[in-house]
Amino acid sequence: MNHRLAQASAEGSLDSDTPVLYALPGFLGSTFMTIGAFGVGWFPLSTNALSLPLIEFLQTQSLGLALARSFVIVGAALLLQAWLVVGVDALQGRITGLRTMYIALGAWCLPLLLAPPLFSRDVYSYYMQGRLQLAGHNPYFSGVSLIPGWFRSGVDPLWADASTPYGPIFLGIERVVASVAGDSALMASYLLRLISLFGVVILAWCVPRLARMHGINAVPALWLGVMNPMVILHFVAGAHNDSLMVAAICLALWLALTSRPNLSIVVAALAVGIKPVAVVVLPFIAIILAGRNPTRLLRISSMLRVTFTTGPVLMLSSALIGVGAFGWIGALATPGSVRSWLSPSTAIGMMWGGFIQILGFGNHTDITITITRVCGALALGVLLVGLVLRPSGRSATRGAAEAFLLLVLLGPVAQPWYLLWAIPLFASTGLSRNQLRAAVVVTCGFTIHGLANWSATADTFFELSDGLAILISIATLALAILTSAQERGLILGKKIEHGLSPKDDAARMRFKSTLL
């Protein structure tokens, strides 16, 4: 099917069934992943689904496990290849309408709505935090281990005693889901996936509109920012709450750019109430509200307006939900308890500590990691302040994209889906040829990394450390570039010669109008 589509694209003759041709390969990939998920996805121990013959075969028999893993890996490969094929035609102007893209996106997501959680079981932590609230405990000060049966509900033991790093808005969502799902952790996971999918829908609505405002073709912007395989894997299959946060950020920026200041600030506050890391977008909302060439007094008043609107929204939501107004500030360190090679500051600290140990000076890795993380935090603070105080030459939306990317690169912990804080914003504001190539490489690499490092697909065959998984991802991607025409064309060839940038005078005028 991909061969037929690629051949039609090369000939420039796309007939009336093109939407189906774009949708079908990714649909098959997601279907394969869904079948595999019933064997290697996360089912809570408390569910009766494990007693079903097919699921029991896929989860307990060696042949079943091998088949399940193979289905997930092949399915993800099909999805990635489908995305690359669509990207070639989107970038070369063969797809002219968003309808085709929306049909393909819907088809790619649909099968995964039936799958148990894949690539992460954070949804069960969300659910148990809701149960924790229903039991009268505050997730900012208590872990889910206080609830009897927490382990059978699928929660990763790593987070059993950890306080929540989420904002009061999302705690309210968790509480409602736990109330509706009752004792069924599996039902809660499906409800939370629908909520995450709602975030993807908002993203699919916002990104093309933000792109048009910046003079960027909405079709390739949607392809890179929302149809991205990492969105499918982590926001749909994994149901991470980052989906809602990123959607609220994009919506807030669009509202600010369309002269809806109060509503924009409220939506931005909701984003912070989902994950406090969204606070990074607030200064850029204020920059938009201050307008072009503002006086210093106007800038200060805009910052104060955003601050004194966001604060009450968060305090009111905290009061309604019954948790501490700012308990999440202390809980922000919770994700940092994980050491990941994906975080440059943590990786440097681990390498430094390992080198010291090799030299015979003992194990001082904790100290070296602390030092490199502090250095990263200081550099992050300086660069973020620079982006806010010197916004000239870029749009506020682009400034927000760069700020979130810096947060991922210099923060103490990084996960593959954290890049999705920035990718939709970069897609909306344009990328040069080399930047777009980098975005494609990163997407392919982290899609492969997710499969290589995910225990459900790796631990039976061989154990992979995070660092080794990264090396395998690089090697696999290099091999794909050499052997596949689509990857070669996008990354090394001329298929993205002009990048993702304004194409005509009208688009360039719109782009210039957004610059500060």
Per-residue confidence in pLDDT tens, the chain, 516 aa:
455 444 444 434 444 447 788 899 899 999 999 998 888 888 887 777 666 777 777 777 777 777 888 888 888 888 888 898 888 888 888 888 899 999 999 999 999 999 999 888 889 999 999 999 998 888 888 888 888 888 888 888 877 888 888 989 999 999 999 999 988 889 999 999 999 999 999 999 999 999 998 889 999 999 999 999 999 999 999 999 999 999 999 999 999 999 898 899 999 999 999 998 999 999 999 999 888 778 788 888 888 988 888 888 888 888 888 776 566 666 555 555 566 777 788 888 888 877 787 877 777 777 888 888 888 889 988 999 888 888 777 888 999 999 999 999 988 887 888 999 999 999 999 888 888 888 888 888 888 777 766 554 333 333 344 455 455 555 655 665 555 665 666 665 555 666 777 777 676 777 677 776
Tokens of 442: 């990163």
Euclidean distance between CA atoms 491 and 481, whole angstroms: 8
The pTM score is 0.87
Helix (H, G, I), strand (E, B) or coil at 500: strand
Residues in the chain: 516
| Domain membership flag for residue 25 | yes
Tokens of 432: 């040069």
- Does residue 110 form part of some domain? yes
Instruction: Tell me which residue has tokens 């810096």.
Output: 406
Kindly state whether residue 28 falls inside one of the protein's structural domains: yes
Assess if residue 95 is contained within a domain.
yes
The structural domain count of the chain equals 2
Tell me the two tokens of residue 263. 């509503």
Cα-based distances in Å from 169 to 164, 192, 306, 357: 12, 14, 18, 45
Alpha-carbon span 136 to 178, nearest angstrom = 13
Q: How far apart are CA 397 and CA 514, in angstroms?
A: 9
SS (H, E, C) 259-299: CCHHHHHHHHHHHHHHCHHHHHHHHHHHHHHHCCCCCHHHH
Q: What is the pLDDT of residue 441?
A: 84
87 assigned to some structural domain: yes
CA 464 to chain centre: 23
Please state whether 413 falls in left (phi above 0), alpha (psi between -120 and 50) or beta: beta
In a domain, 219, yes or no: no
* Of the residues 116, 149, 173, the one at which a domain ends: 116
CA distance 494 to 492: 7
Domain that holds residue 6: 1-116
Helices of type H across 292-364: 296-321, 327-331, 344-358
Question: How many angstroms separate the CA atoms of 25 and 271, rounded?
Answer: 34
Tokens describing residue 277: 């890391």
pLDDT at 484: 60
Q: Rounded CA gap, 283 and 285, in Å?
A: 5
Kindly list the distances between the CA atom of residue 445 and the CA atoms of 198, 273, 481, in Å, as whole numbers in the listed order: 26, 31, 11
Yes or no: say if 203 and 246 are a contact pair by the CB < 8 Å rule.
yes
The SS3 call for residue 168 is: helix
Q: In the numeric block, which tokens belong to residue 444?
A: 């392919």
Yes or no: say if 44 and 154 are a contact pair by the CB < 8 Å rule: yes
Check if the beta carbon of residue 1 is closer than 8 Å to that of residue 25. Answer: yes
Q: Is residue 14 part of a domain?
A: yes
Q: Each residue of 361-372: b (16+ CB within 10 Å) or e?
A: eeeebeebbebb
SS3 letters across 60-104: HCHHHHHHHHHHHHHHHHHHHHHHHHHHHHHHCCCCCCHHHHHHH
Last residue of a domain, one of 116, 147, 175: 116
Which SS3 state, helix, strand or coil, does residue 155 take? coil
Question: Secondary structure of the chain: what % helix, strand, coil (to 5)?
Answer: 75, 0, 25
Residue 397 included in any domain = no
Torsion sign over Cα 264, 271, 401, 99: negative
Domain boundary among the residues 116, 133, 163 is at 116
Distance CA 117, CA 391 (A): 41
